[in-house]
Amino acid sequence: MPLNVPIVENILSANDRLAQENHARIDAAGVFSINLMASPGAGKTSIIEQTLPRLADKLRVAVVDGDIATSLDADRAEAAGAQASIQINTGGECHLDAVMLRGALEQLDLKQFDLLIVENVGNLVCPADFRLGTHKSVLIASIPEGDDKPYKYPGMYRGVDALVINKIDLLPYINFKMDFFQRGVEALNPGIVTFPVSCRTGEGLDAWINWLMQNVKRNGD
């Protein structure tokens, strides 16, 4: 006679459990952490390059870089002033998961830092499903990607805590309807904090830096 055994367990629970462990570890060290996600070429590394010099003398920053191959991004983060940068090569995986971040955390003396920036693999689909254990998730959109991205990648736009819109200096040259884009964002993620910036001209970056500083301060209190 078959017997029904109730389970009710989240299928990605193994990753979620590890993400909670990562979170506890980062939190215990008093570090504020963000998971930076975007499509390839939106400007994840450029944001990091623009952010680090503006935080110099204020915050000690570690960067963990996820890429399928090469250490180009970790090298750029280090050149921009990261106190430590760790490259994770996912070997084909299209996203970071909690296990990979745990491996990187083990290489860092977390107490030495105020801010941990995790740069995920460029991808608007899979990183949304794998929690890492960071405090906040940040999505970087960019003007050349087009204004339809919230509608096409709802899972990503729904799950993030802050949105950076990069390359706004290109608005005059590209048919990007900001109203249409923001309506999509608002429907999926009402009230999300948004930073229109240009990494090329530096426009809008002060607000982004302030948001980071406030979060680091709040986390330390």
Partner 1 sequence: MHELPITQSVLEISLRHAQQAGAKRITDLYLLIGKLSYVMDDSIQFYWDMIAKDTIAEGATLHFQRVPVELLCLDCSCRYPVDGETLACPQCASTRVKVAAGDEFRLESIDIETFDQSDANVVEK
Residues engaged in binding partner 1 (CB under 8 A): 1-14, 125-126, 129, 154-155, 158, 183, 186-188, 190-191
In this structure, are strands 136-142 and 193-196 parallel, antiparallel, or unpaired? Answer: unpaired
Q: 203-208, long-range: CB within 8 Å, 24+ apart, which pairs?
A: 203/168, 203/169, 204/168, 205/50, 205/51, 205/54, 208/47, 208/51, 208/164
DSSP H or E segment with residue 152: helix 149-152
CA angle 219, 82, 42 (to 5 degrees): 85
Query: How far apart are CB 151 and partner 1 at their closest, in Å?
Result: 10
DSSP 35: E
Q: Which is nearer to partner 1, 82 or 160 (CB)?
A: 160
Please give the structure tokens belonging to residue 73: 């991004």
Q: Which is nearer to partner 1, 85 or 189 (CB)?
A: 189
Query: How far apart are CB 172 and partner 1 at their closest, in Å?
Result: 28
Q: Smallest Cα–Cα separation from 205: which of 39, 31, 74, 46? A: 46
Question: How many residues are recorded in the chain?
Answer: 221
Q: Which is nearer to partner 1, 52 or 132 (CB)?
A: 132
Please give the structure tokens belonging to residue 89: 């090569």
Query: How far apart are CB 3 and partner 1 at their closest, in Å?
Result: 5
Query: How far apart are CB 9 and partner 1 at their closest, in Å?
Result: 5
Query: How far apart are CB 129 and partner 1 at their closest, in Å?
Result: 6
How far apart CA 28 and CA 116 sit, in angstroms, is: 13
Q: Which is nearer to partner 1, 77 or 128 (CB)?
A: 128
Q: Which is nearer to partner 1, 79 or 125 (CB)?
A: 125
